[in-house]
Amino acid sequence: MRVAVDAHAIGRHLTGNEVYIRSLLNAFAAQDHDCEFVAYVSADDACEFIPARIPTRRVSANPFLRLGWDLAMKIRQDRPDLLHVQYTAPIGCSVPVVVSVHDVSFLEHPEYFTRDRAWQLQWTVRRTIRRAAKVLTGSEFSRTSILKVYGDLDEDKVVVVPNAAAPEFRPISREAASASVRARFSLAAPFLLSVGDLQPRKNQIGLIRAFARLVRAYPQLRHDLVLAGKETWFADRVREAARESGVADRIRFFGFVSDRDLLQLYNACETFVFPSFYEGFGLPVLEAMACGRSVVCSNTSSLPEVVDGAAILFDPYAVDEIVRAIADLLLDAELRARMERLGLQRAAHFSWQKTAARTLGVFHDVAGLAHAARHQPVGSPTIAHR
């Protein structure tokens, strides 16, 4: 079986989408030697992140060229058995498509996007899902949401394949991590960490307000708040909230950080806070748990399913609840240690090897059905794609 993968996200700081496809390709290469893969990339340095046994081909970084021309041409030249994409397939694709749709926030909460971006996703993802042989998603929450918003889909078409923290995220020496953070970011104070693009659904503004109340209510806490995540169209609003908080000198914006720096930040932080309104999976909570950190996070969307009792939950719309949850962990060392143990145990339930094996199983099913349909005798009953 030959599988083509749209890996244009690699090397382009596309955060969750980049982590997903990069981790999946590495896991494919490590465990399956019966399949051939070809990865279509757009960034100059993408090959640095892709295993040597997976050849790469260049496609345009411009989405209109990539989806309207480049990918379709490469598919016709390479003749794979199927194409794997995230969210959007190329126009005129000549082979079966498997699409990963991590969430449908663009339909359920379009206010989290610019108007043009929400409209584009609504149109292109709908077209792709209708065209796809299978739809992969990371949680039962997202599967239910996909089936609800695209109401006439066959339920068997949408398959849950959970994500995982990359093996690089692991416990390391707290002292060494703290020293690295001091040297790299000039941060000596104990700190709370939150990771995510500066965008509405990540709820950094709510977290900033909660942090300001925390500092006023518990003056003995000397922690800073670190926000690590790429700047977006919404970043000015988040920075304005920090300036107006009264504790701006204790709020640090680190922007997009590499996995190497993120490993140090996870291990050095006192507690990881994830106040997102909506997540299809919520990979940062698993990464923090895999590094042995206690987690407080929202009780919405997929997050209760992913953490499964290994985190302190709060209502992200209730600032006082966020304050109480953070304070409970910071002020109770025994509770914090217990949540660290539970988090490590929970993160160990997930692995990219499992994710890759389940994904390959879907690929084999799709390719097998396509092969059977091509070799079906004339006049015999049609084989339906489930």
pLDDT in tens, 148-207: 999 999 999 999 999 999 999 999 999 999 999 999 999 999 999 999 999 999 999 999
Strand partners for 228 = 195, 255
Q: Please give the share of the chain, as a percent, with pLDDT higher than 70.
A: 95
Cα torsion 173, 177, 178, 182 to 10°: value is 150
Burial of 380 (0-12, 13-18, 19+ CB in 10 A): exposed
- Amino acid 374: pLDDT: 64
pLDDT band at residue 386 under the 50/70/90 scheme: very low
Radius of gyration of the chain (CA): 22
pLDDT band at residue 369 under the 50/70/90 scheme: confident
Arithmetic mean of pLDDT over the chain: 94
Do the domains 174-347 and 2-164+352-372 match in fold? yes
How far does the chain reach from its first CA to its final CA, in angstroms?
A: 20
- Amino acid 21: pLDDT: 96
Burial of 144 (0-12, 13-18, 19+ CB in 10 A): middle
In CATH terms, the fold of domain 174-347 is Rossmann fold (3.40.50)
- Tell me the pTM: 0.92
The three-state secondary structure class of 113 is coil
- Give the lowest-confidence range in 77-86, 241-250, 294-303, 376-385: 376-385
pLDDT band at residue 263 under the 50/70/90 scheme: very high
Q: Say yes or no to pLDDT of 106 above 70.
A: yes
The residue ranges of every structural domain in the chain are 2-164+352-372, 174-347
Residue 178 in tokens: 């703290």
Q: What is the pLDDT of residues 216-226, one digit of tens each?
A: 999 999 999 99
CATH of domain 2-164+352-372: 3.40.50.2000
What DSSP designation does 68 have? I
